Amino acid sequence: MTPRRPYGGDPDDEPSDNDGFPGNKNRKEGPRSKSPRGTSSPYSHFDSRELHFDLKLKTTDIPTWDGNPGTLTRWILKVNTLASRGRTVYTQLGQLVPARLEKDAEQWFWSLPIKYHQNITESWKTF
């Protein structure tokens, strides 16, 4: 590793946006990407070639609920936070939340008529 000189009057000595991060040396930024259909994503300013957090969701990211009324409000708020990540997540939560129910909540869900299951699993709102 080459020792760095202190920043001085020479423009070549000034820090760049890419200094200090592995894999970013001498990389020029390209145009920012856009999401499909030409709408900008709030995450479109990230360069996917750089080291970054993977923001993909997994089913295990959905909190479980055991049917305890004392924890229902907090559980709903957590699921609402996930639902706010996008329309697809909002819809898929209706189908995936039942698998995250435990104990009394799971018993309640599976005791409902099949027709009712179909209606409430359309989205998080219907659930």
Asked whether residue 25 is assigned to any structural domain, the reply reads no
Pick from 3, 47, 1, 50: nearest CA to 22 = 50
- What's the structural domain count of the chain? 1
pLDDT tens digits, 25-66: 444 444 444 444 444 555 567 677 888 888 899 999 999 999
Asked whether residue 16 is assigned to any structural domain, the reply reads no
Rounded Cα distance between 93 and 4, Å, is: 51
Asked whether residue 67 is assigned to any structural domain, the reply reads yes
Rounded Cα distance between 105 and 109, Å, is: 6
pLDDT over threshold 70, residue 112:
yes
- pLDDT > 70: percent of the chain: 64
Residues spanned by the domain of 113 = 59-120
For the whole model, what pTM was predicted? 0.61
Tokens encoding 11: 């423009």
Residue 88, classed as helix, strand or coil, is: helix
Asked whether residue 93 is assigned to any structural domain, the reply reads yes
Residue 101, classed as helix, strand or coil, is: strand
Asked whether residue 81 is assigned to any structural domain, the reply reads yes
- Please report the pLDDT score of residue 55 as a whole number: 85
